[in-house]
A and B are shown apart, each in its own frame.
Chain A
Amino acid sequence: DAGVTQSPTHLIKTRGQQVTLRCSPKSGHDTVSWYQQALGQGPQFIFQYYEEEERQRGNFPDRFSGHQFPNYSSELNVNALLLGDSALYLCASSLIAGTGEAFFGQGTRLTVV
């Protein structure tokens, strides 16, 4: 079992650009959630996808959008990047019928310059 895999591991983008991050969930999991972890902070919930639809959303602007594919993998898109978007982006997979227990990937470190 490969667990949750994310790509790329590191990314440097220029302010105003757009970025796409990718995530493959743990085998058997049907739900993918994305979190943003700024330096020195705990992860903050961005949104959750289940059955290819956004099921829940945290307090993040519309510049943050996502997608879930039929194989349960997911993408996180961020448009019009700001310097403040620099963070570790974590993908977590779980079961919709579960208890909230989530398995996390290694994350994508995004730096906006």
Chain B
Amino acid sequence: AQSVTQLDSQVPVFEEAPVELRCNYSSSVSVYLFWYVQYPNQGLQLLLKYLSGSTLVKGINGFEAEFNKSQTSFHLRKPSVHISDTAEYFCAVSAFKGSQGNLIFGKGTKLSVKP
């Protein structure tokens, strides 16, 4: 079984400051990793994904994440945030086999960008 822990439930940050949203996972099998963003009253939009290869992955809206296998982490970063980045961010994992397609989500991190 897999589990995902998002270490911060809320992250307040000023506009143009850097931000890191932390995600740790637990799994007995290899996994794919994802970050999704959810704006108020909307569904989930895929930000980026790690499937294999380079551990640094780049996504939409200037976000990037680094896969660290030894620390079982997949932290999301952005060097300079905008007001429009205010949203809830979810880290998720999917097992290579067996539960493929079944996404396990963390509880989410609310990013609040202040002017």
Contacts and interface: CB of A to CB of B under 8 A. Distances in A.
A77 B93 CA distance: 26
B107 A58 contact: no
Contacts of A101: 32, 34, 46, 49, 94
A43 B32 contact: no
A44 B103 CA distance: 8
Interface of B: 4, 32, 34, 36, 41-46, 49, 51, 90, 92, 94-95, 99-108
A33 B105 contact: no
Contacts of A102: 46, 101, 103
A45 B103 contact: yes
Nearest to A94: B101
Given A42-B108, A43-B90, A100 B44 contact: no
Interface string A67-107: 00000000000000000000000101010101111111111
A96 B103 contact: no
Nearest to A105: B43
B101 A56 contact: yes
A55 to B, nearest CB: 8
